[in-house]
Homo-oligomer: A and B are copies of this chain.
Amino acid sequence: MANKETGFVQNITPQSEDFSRWYTDVIKMTDLVDYSDVKGCMVIKPYGYGIWELIQHEMDARFKATGHKNAYFPLFIPESLLQKEADHVEGFAPEVAWVTHGGNEPLAERLAVRPTSETIICSMYSKWVQSYRDLPILYNQWCNVVRWEKSTRPFLRTSEFLWQEGHTAHETAEEAQAETEKMLEVYREFAYNVLAIPVITGQKSEKEKFAGAMHTYTMEAMMLDGKALQMGTSHNLGTHFSKVYDIQYLSREGQLEYVHQTSWGTSTRMIGGLIMVHGDERGLKLPPKVAPIQVIIIPVAAHKEGVLDKANALLAELRAAGIRADIDTREQSPGWKFNEWEMKGVPIRLEVGPRDIEQNQVVLVRRDNFEKNFYSMDGLADTIKELLDKVHEGMLASAMKFRDEKTTSAEDFESFKTAINGGNFVKGLWCGERECEDGIKEETGATTRCMPFGESAPESGICVHCGKPAKRVMIFAKAY
């Protein structure tokens, strides 16, 4: 079992006492982020940015494997350009930061700092697309965006954040729909296999869809307080934007047609998600594939002859095998270090002392379940790679168990309210009307998260709120 002495844990508010303060304590104490002098903007410190770099690395490989290329579009969007698509501007205008002066001179036209890039990208696509030969366009960009938020929390909702946004254009509606679904599936697979987060995927309601989209699909994750976090969305834009921004192509049949478009995005918000899906009273618990340090080596009785040499040799061996290993040779006691690295969520702790060296073994402790075992130094890199996979699987299984236990079905509004107040995802039948959606939110604080794929309302089903015939299966939850 884990070492339980020392004071780190005392400085972290227990999850059960105040989940929100637990989150804030953890991100500050583990050096993921800091608050800046600019309201609502965070500084992502190296330990937090290291997670983001690994996320980018994993995602970018998936985007490229599915035929996408990266590009970069301007940070600024002229006001007139932003305003062309009515729903879109209505959705984003309240959150836009406006540049009004360049150097010492007022600008002729205000510039929006991009809240998302559909408009500027569409204006370029309209230049680039002439013929079906120019299609599909499959571009992505990694960049910062700004949405002026009144109430902010690091990673979850900040005025500036980092993200990727894919923007594609296609000949047919079918292709655009296939792309929208394909990229949501890329996100889902990434969430499961990299972040160890068992997201639920499905379609958003009309109310919750992206401003300007035809359909929005989402992956939703359950946090340890039972609330939902939207972790990524994929939009079928139809021809809403191409008609407004005039993106036409000469078809194979010689006709001028509007392109069918998609956009899809994920952001640094996912880091907030993995903290709240996996963390515990001791602090962070990082999924191995995005842990900046996967193995921390702690020499025990480091002053004894040969211990540091051996520890460093193991470090070199693990690094050579492509494992992100580090060593802690600071002056503090091993017990203090055990606690600090547990707090920082490092998946595996490796202890090595004089007796271990004598016996050609090391002690490995898993962060996910505190299992502690001796392993031979021979073939250690392979042992650790297997163990990292097991940690990943263990974390995913644990999150899945929690999600399933906290997802309930409700057939009437009383049980619905009880389940929502108990911090559950509630699966219920819904009439599909905006009025009911608004009513549920008002009465319970829950919003529609998604209509999960592969589930349809039974013919005789009735809406959990109004009792009228149900059209869809919907997952409701309180959300971040």
Contacts and interface: CB of A to CB of B under 8 A. Distances in A.
A59 interface: no
B41 A74 contact: yes
Given A76-B160, A99-B99, A70 B46 contact: yes
Contacts of A78: 37-38
Contact of A160 (B52, B75, B100): B75
B103 A94 contact: yes
A343 to B, nearest CB: 18
A42 B97 contact: no
Residue of A69, A96, A103, A159 ringed by the most chain B CB atoms within 10 A: A103
A77 interface: yes
Interface in A160-208: 160, 162
A362 interface: no
Contacts of A38: 74, 76-78, 111, 120
Interface string A337-370: 0000000000000000000000000000000000
A428 B419 CA distance: 82
Interface string A50-84: 10110000000000000001111111111001000
B101 A72 contact: no
B74 A99 contact: no
Question: This chain: how many copies in the complex?
Answer: 2
Contacts of A72: 43-44, 49, 52, 162
Nearest to A268: B72
A102 interface: yes
Contacts of A76: 38, 41, 97, 160
B74 A50 contact: no
Given A41-B75, A45-B71, A46-B139, A103 B99 contact: no
A113 interface: yes
Interface stretch (A7-15, A143-151, A449-457, A461-469): A143-151
A71 B46 contact: yes
A49 B124 CA distance: 16
A34 interface: yes
Contacts of A70: 46, 49-50, 53
Contacts of A128: 34
Contacts of A98: 99-102
A418 to B, nearest CB: 37
Interface string A31-42: 000101110011
B94 A71 contact: no
A123 interface: yes
Given A101-B100, A160-B75, A36 B120 contact: yes
A46 B69 contact: yes
A255 interface: no
Contact of A101 (B81, B97, B160): B97
B43 A124 contact: yes
A104 interface: yes
21 contacts: A37-B81, A37-B123, A38-B120, A42-B74, A43-B71, A44-B71, A45-B71, A46-B69, A46-B70, A49-B70, A49-B71, A50-B70, A52-B72, A75-B144, A76-B97, A76-B160, A98-B99, A98-B102, A99-B99, A99-B113, A100-B100
Given A50-B70, A52-B72, A95-B103, 17 more contacts: A34-B124, A36-B73, A36-B123, A37-B81, A37-B120, A38-B111, A41-B76, A46-B70, A49-B70, A50-B69, A75-B144, A94-B103, A97-B102, A99-B113, A101-B110, A102-B148, A103-B148
Question: Which A-B residue pairs are the 10 nearest by beta carbons?
Answer: A41-B74, A102-B148, A46-B69, A44-B72, A98-B101, A103-B148, A100-B100, A38-B76, A38-B74, A36-B74
